[in-house]
Structure 1
Amino acid sequence: MKIKYCINLHKGTTFIFILGLMLIYQNFMLGAWVYLALHGTYGLLWLLKDQLYPDKQWEQQYPWPIHLLGFGLISLYWVAPYILISRRVEPAVPLIAGAIALNIVGVFLHFGSDAQKYLILKYQPRLITEGFFARCRNPNYLGEMLIYLSFAMLTMHWLPFVILGGFFGAVFIPNMLKKDRSLSRYPEFEQYRENSGLFWPKLIGKQNPTPKDMAKVELNS
């Protein structure tokens, strides 16, 4: 089975899970509704993204025990809505506004950069050094972290931040380093790495090599 199946199952049932918590705990306050809108919509957008421009890394085949383990691990993201709804947390309005703004930026980076990567690699496979990737080598991961950070903010509890930090250290960083090792096969990667950040954008630096520059390198190599 493809690993994306357990991920899609989790993303697709998040809206139902949060709504179920609201019904169980009879919590229909503003914080609960905002959380449902943000996290629930994110899950549905993920399913739409998988249909429009799927990520190859989630197409890998794994035995079903791995799927069960994977579903259990990513279900730790459900700790945040459980805390918020069961404890009847009511975030301050400025905090809600900040979380929504952060979520919008995260969705823009995450889904926009994934679309750019998918289309370029489909029609013109090469090292991507422009657009979302001009100053950051992993804008999709940055966007995803901002999205889950906005969820954690709404809970006003330390545990979701710890869980998010755990995923960042155990999953995100190894994947970003693995990607760097793969991209190092391109001769222009060293210049690109100097002018871009692994996770956080590097705002000051020289201009990255353009597709035309890459073509010249290939012709001269």
Structure 2
Amino acid sequence: MNEQGTKKSRTTWQKIARRIRVPLGFVFAAVFLWLARPTWQSMLGSLLLVLPGLWLRGYAAGYVRKNSELTTTGPYAHTRNPLYLGSMAIAFGFAAASGRWVIFIVLAALFLAIYLPTILSEEEYLRAHFSEFDAYAAKVPRLLPRLTPASTGQTAGTFSRPLYLHHREYNAAMGSAAIYAALAARLWFLAAH
């Protein structure tokens, strides 16, 4: 396949990945609950990933002004994708709660197949719309955070509660509570049978 054909198929998959990531998440959640063999210990231990993931998503949602500006302050001075990093922490926390290694493996494959192309597609958009993106990307890692905030030239932003509410990030906490309730019900069901 020539370079143009490769780029077109990559772009096509990026569009598909963006569209299917949420519905695929619901399908994965159903399979996850069916396969899960949680214990109270695994559920408690999972909080070490789930709670920081929820915090990071909420913190990032209070900074980002999607499509209107390149956000480079707050958690965005540590990683270009704090929302995805938070989602990964939450997801792998629930994989730990499930007590099944196969869920870890499938989850890692899904993140590579769905989220990596989505991130790359979003970077193409940001590069095309914000001239300062390349300079920002040179200082701030794509996913794994740097320990100290990068100096991005943008004045320090502050967390905005109205932005957090606008992005409805509280839904992640409610969804997590629902998954824990479903895992507890699954644990009770398995113990009763």
Structure 1 length as normaliser, TM-score? 0.54
Is the partner of 1:146 in helix, strand or coil?
A: helix
1:109 correspondence with 2:52: no
RMSD of the alignment, in Å?
A: 2.9
The share of aligned pairs that are identical, in percent, is 24
Is contact 2:44–2:97 with CA below 8 Å preserved after alignment? no
Matched, 1:195 2:144: no
Where 2:63 maps in the other structure, the secondary structure is helix
8 Å contact from structure 1 (residues 134, 196) kept in 2: yes
Supply the distance in 1 between the matched residues of 2:22 and 2:44 (Cα, whole angstroms).
32
* Offset of residue 73 of structure 1: 6.1
Unpaired runs of 5+ in structure 2? 1-18, 157-193
CA distance in 2, matches of 1:184, 1:138: 15
Question: If you compute each CA radius of gyration, which structure gives the higher value, 1 or 2?
Answer: 1
Structure 1 segment 128-207 matched on structure 2, within 5 A: 128-185=71-128, 186-203=130-147, 206-207=150-151
The equivalent residue for 1:81 is: 33
TM-score (norm 2): 0.61
Query: After superposition, where does 1:203-214 map in structure 2 within 5 Å?
Result: 203=147, 206-211=150-155
Question: Could you say what secondary structure the match of 2:140 adopts?
Answer: coil
| 1:152–1:160 contact (8 Å) kept in structure 2 | yes
Do the aligned residues in 1 keep the contact of 2:56 with 2:82 (CA within 8 Å)? yes
The structure with higher relative contact order (CA 8 Å, sep 6+) is 2
3-state DSSP of counterpart to 1:151: helix
How many residue pairs get matched? 138
